[in-house]
Amino acid sequence: MGEILGSFLPVKLRFVIAIGVCMIVGFSACESGRTGSTQQAGTQRPIPKPPPSLATAISRSVDLGPADGSTTVHLSFGLKVRNEDLLGRLIASGRTVNPDAYAADFGPDPALVARALQALDAAGLKTGWQGPSNIVAADGPAPAAAALLAIGIESYRLPDGTMFYAARDQPRLPPALAAVVTNVSGLDDYRRTRGYAVRPGGLIPTDVLSYYNIKSLRDAGLDGTGQTIMLPEIDDLPNFSDLEKFATKYGLPAFASVLTVKRDPSWGTPEKAQGETVLDLEIVHAVAPKAKLVVYLSAPDFGHGDRAFDQLVTDRPGSIISESLGSCEPDTPSGARNVYAAIEDRAVAVGISHFVASGDNGAYTCGVDQDPAGSFPSTLPTVTAVGGTSVFESEQGVYFKEYAWSSPLDQSGGGGGASQFYAIPTYQKNESKPAGRGNRQVPDIAADGDPSTGFHVIFGGRDGQVGGTSAATPLWAGTVALINQDLKQKGLREVGFANPALYWMGENGSKLSPQPFHDVSAGNNLGFDAAAGWDFATGWGSMDASALDLAWVRYIQGGGG
């Protein structure tokens, strides 16, 4: 460690030392890591540890017996698409269709859905569906759901008093459901989806724009006008005061002019404000200040989250999703994974770019006491997974170097590794690594995620510094909003599913000048070393935004996608 610090201290001594001070004080009056002055003492918050698996939670709980009628279950039934092979070829080709064409060619069969709704209603569940949605929402008393699906649903109490329900068996679908339903999520309400933000001032907006060469795009008049970024979130926004304070402080448009927050009782109750949503919004707004922002708030369990995500894709208010949520892939129920994957297929088919945080526990999303594993949904082949780096500025405040983010002391780092369920996609086969075992490899790209070199935000009325791959993700989403704006001005299609273009750029880097990626080749993510080219720690690396824009124009003009 001393060798690493020794090599960088001459470059930006003031930056490194001031950041350390900000980490110690947490949320305070620290301004952008440049002064070291403090007005409010505190302590750095620890890196969140992965929650126990459902099986572990059950083993630690008291079984209270079958859940009774006072327990309401919230089920989401994933529906079969039509012409599945044709849809697969469409997604693989990179072509897109409009929502009406999707509904006509691939949406669930309305007649079969109607019969399924009748069966659910007859069983005593309250239902809702509107085509071309991929799910039927069904809520009702636990005994009714248990009888319909021929399963046992038990109530459990953890030692800390937390109550949850969980199904003991795999569901058996009656014929009316089996004809159109593929999977069921919501068979437990043990909450395992979490945000990837490390909350301990950090890089202010002008730092971020300069460091990743986003400023060149902004100087060219690109500000996100005409773009909308959608954000699935699980912690609430009780008021906009933090957001507006941030906007005023950095001369950005008022959030009230660009932000819409969507809620629905069927999506459950989000957690109280923890700063994740604020973090995502402040970072993306700093990059693309004129882009519209639409937040979809849900409870953190899979059933409710699937419903909100499905509605997001159905509404399609924009063409970019920034998602800072995830769960241990092996412990994500297959029903929840499959329902989500089907909705994501629809998102890709209608031309949505989807950036997902890869996690903040390095290669060990499920915990260092478990085998290496990735974070779902970042492991889906149809999303763009964003890893984390540690950044070092030059004395002039521009790019100098990045390392893969890892901190062995608190077991944190950028998520990365191989999926246990999804085969390696065609666009990634040239980067196949032995450790991938023929499966999808994560991440695809990366950006600043280390909290010790993190971003300046305002939360709870106080200035602070944050990190995590949930900071890197909105950074990428905001940058792609600028690129989309430029593409449209040039009469070209928008980015859409980003991975085919990103891997083309990575594989053809020697032919592209300037280079669109900063190839991060030092450091590790607790399990995998960074290396030249694509790697499990940082993917292709971070961005040079101006060069990335030029490369995207070249890719599309050359017939890519």
pLDDT at 20: 28
Task: Out of 34-48, 227-241, 382-396, 467-481, pick the least confident.
Answer: 34-48
pLDDT tens digits along 118-136: 999 999 999 989 888 999 9
Q: Tell whether 173 and 199 lie within a shared domain.
A: no
pLDDT at 182: 93
Residue that finishes a domain, picked among 135, 153, 185: 185
pLDDT tens digits along 55-113: 888 999 999 999 999 999 999 999 999 999 999 999 888 889 999 999 999 999 999 99
- pLDDT grade, residue 161 (50/70/90)? confident
Q: Above 60 in pLDDT, residue 46?
A: no
Q: Tell whether 271 and 177 lie within a shared domain.
A: no
- pLDDT grade, residue 292 (50/70/90)? very high
Residue 514 inside a domain? The answer is yes
Q: Tell whether 344 and 401 lie within a shared domain.
A: yes
Q: Give the containing element (helix H, strand E) for 77.
A: strand 72-79
H helices of 158-275, in order, are: 175-178, 205-211, 215-219, 241-249
Residue 10 inside a domain? The answer is no
pLDDT at 193: 63
Q: Tell whether 160 and 265 lie within a shared domain.
A: no
Rounded to whole angstroms, the Cα distance separating 186 from 181 reads 14
Residue 282 inside a domain? The answer is yes
- pLDDT grade, residue 543 (50/70/90)? very high
pLDDT tens digits along 217-256: 999 999 999 999 999 999 999 789 999 999 999 999 999 9
Rounded to whole angstroms, the Cα distance separating 134 from 282 reads 31
Are the beta carbons of 297 and 260 closer than 8 angstroms?
no
Residue 5 inside a domain? The answer is no
Q: What's the rounded mean pLDDT across residues 190-194?
A: 67
Q: Above 90 in pLDDT, residue 552?
A: yes
Q: Above 60 in pLDDT, residue 42?
A: no
Instruction: Tell me whether strands 353-357 and 259-262 are parallel, antiparallel or unpaired.
Output: unpaired
- pLDDT grade, residue 14 (50/70/90)? very low
Q: Tell whether 252 and 179 lie within a shared domain.
A: no
Among left, alpha and beta (phi > 0; psi -120 to 50; other), residue 541 is left
Residue that finishes a domain, picked among 185, 220, 253: 185
Tally of domains within the chain: 2
Q: Above 90 in pLDDT, residue 398?
A: no
Residue 173 inside a domain? The answer is yes
Q: Tell whether 172 and 252 lie within a shared domain.
A: no
Angle subtended by helix axes 545-557 and 469-489, to nearest 10 = 50
CATH of the domain at 516: 3.40.50.200
Q: Tell whether 494 and 522 lie within a shared domain.
A: yes
Residue 12 inside a domain? The answer is no
Domain of residue 467 covers 194-557
Rg (C-alpha) for the chain, rounded Å, is 23
Q: Give the containing element (helix H, strand E) for 556.
A: helix 545-557
Q: What's the rounded mean pLDDT across residues 528-542?
A: 97
Give phi and psi for 539, each to the nearest 5: 60, -130
- Portion of the chain with pLDDT greater than 90, in percent: 76
Q: Tell whether 233 and 157 lie within a shared domain.
A: no
Q: Tell whether 204 and 175 lie within a shared domain.
A: no
Q: Tell whether 396 and 518 lie within a shared domain.
A: yes
Q: What's the rounded mean pLDDT across residues 493-509?
A: 96
Q: Tell whether 284 and 148 lie within a shared domain.
A: no
Average pLDDT, the chain: 87
Residue 2 inside a domain? The answer is no
Residue 157 inside a domain? The answer is yes
Are the beta carbons of 280 and 233 closer than 8 angstroms?
yes
pLDDT at 408: 82
CA distances from 482 to 216, 222, 229, 266, 548 (A): 11, 6, 11, 34, 11
Question: Quick check: bond before 132 cis, omega within 30?
Answer: yes
- pLDDT grade, residue 201 (50/70/90)? low
Residue that finishes a domain, picked among 159, 185, 211: 185
Amino acid at 397: G
Q: Tell whether 123 and 214 lie within a shared domain.
A: no
